[in-house]
Amino acid sequence: MNTALVRKRLVIGNWKMHGTQASNAMLLTGLCAGVAVVHDCDLAVCVPFPYLGQVSASLHGSGISWGAQDVSKHEQGAFTGEVSSSMLTDFGCRWVLVGHSERRTLHGETDTLVAEKALAALKAGITPVVCVGETLAEQEAGRTNEVIQRQLAPVLALGADSVAKMVIAYEPVWAIGTGLTATPEQAQEVHAFIRAQLSELGVPQVRILYGGSVKASNALSLFAMSDIDGALVGGASLVTEEFLRIAAA
């Protein structure tokens, strides 16, 4: 079976630590007004915790879904500053990013912790978007597949039933916010490697997104690759027209 025929494209905007209520309102209004140009694609934004309520209200009924950028592995308790999956569910959150390279690098998140966060999200009915990717040094050393396999191992160990409810995002660290982008062929090679691991587990239908300086100018060529099912978009998701053009590519 050609699984590419049954995987709907997914484009998620990661606002990172950007936004004010005023600027958010302008962006969200623009997205709601322009989403009609997007066909056969699920569109979503992942936003900072303080703006979950604003985004939930602004996007209600628009067809654009939304999520958070992180989640605690704990359900509740004395974990000051943490946000649980049940709190996200309370707002109607659909997606949550786990294991983004910035969390791994700046906060020391391990592969095991990422899997634990993904499991916490699943238990609450939220779809985790599990981020993986190699650094420039690892890429130049020819260790890309080794790194990806290591990062995915604890996640895949959760089993086919759990992984089937996830999204995987391949983000080469060297291409995030640098202006550098993997060529479509480079990205496809890694996506095919990830797909092979998913197929071995029995869940080839899981969507795999590409992230790393995705723009309207390169989205079409990336999406043309057979194993690239969409994008996790950083800076470009803060520009209404650019984000919509990526989703419509």
pLDDT one-digit tens code per residue, 91-116: 999 999 999 999 999 999 999 999 99
Is residue 203 within 8 Å of 163, Cβ to Cβ? Answer: yes
Percent of the chain that is helix, strand, coil (3-state, to 5): 50, 15, 35
Return mean pLDDT, the chain: 95
Q: Which of 102, 171, 191, 242 is catalytic?
A: 171
Task: In whole angstroms, give the CA distance from residue 19 to residue 238.
Answer: 9
Percentage of the chain with pLDDT > 90? 92
Catalytic (active site) residue 74: no
Largest CA distance in the chain: 48
Q: What is the structure's pLDDT at 1? A: 38
- Single out the catalytic residue among 100, 102, 116, 191: 100
Pairing of strands 95-98, 65-68: parallel
Residues paired with residue 12 on neighbouring β-strands, in sequence order: 44, 232
User: Which of 75, 127, 126, 69 has its CA nearest to residue 99?
Assistant: 69
Element (H, E) at 21: helix 21-34
Half-sphere exposure of 119 (CA within 13 A, CB side): 15
pLDDT 10s digits, 9-38: 999 999 999 999 999 999 999 999 999 999
Q: What is the pLDDT of residue 177?
A: 74
Q: Cα–Cα distance between 162 and 32 in angstroms, integer?
A: 32
Q: What's this model's pTM, rounded to 2 decimal places?
A: 0.95
Identify whether the C-beta of residue 13 lies closer than 8 Å to the C-beta of residue 235: no
- Answer yes or no: 100 catalytic: yes
pLDDT of residue 22: 98
pLDDT band at 3 (very low <50, low <70, confident <90, very high): very low
The mean pLDDT of 53-79, rounded to a whole number, is 97
- CATH fold, domain 3-248, is TIM Barrel (3.20.20)
Q: What own/partner pairs with CB < 8 Å and gap ≥ 24 does 83-87 have?
A: 83/49, 84/120, 84/124, 85/120, 85/121, 85/123, 85/124, 85/126, 86/124
Q: What is the pLDDT of residue 229?
A: 98
For the chain, which residues make up each domain, given as ranges? 3-248
Token readout for 159 is 């089993």
Buried b (16+ CB within 10 A) or exposed e, 9-44: bbbbbbbbebbeeeebeebbeebbebbeebeebbbb
Structure tokens at 81: 């500053």
pLDDT in tens, 169-212: 999 998 877 777 789 999 999 999 999 999 999 999 999 999 98
Q: Measured at the alpha carbon of residue 39, what is the angle toward residues 5 and 171, in degrees to the nearest 5?
A: 70
Residue type at position 114 = V
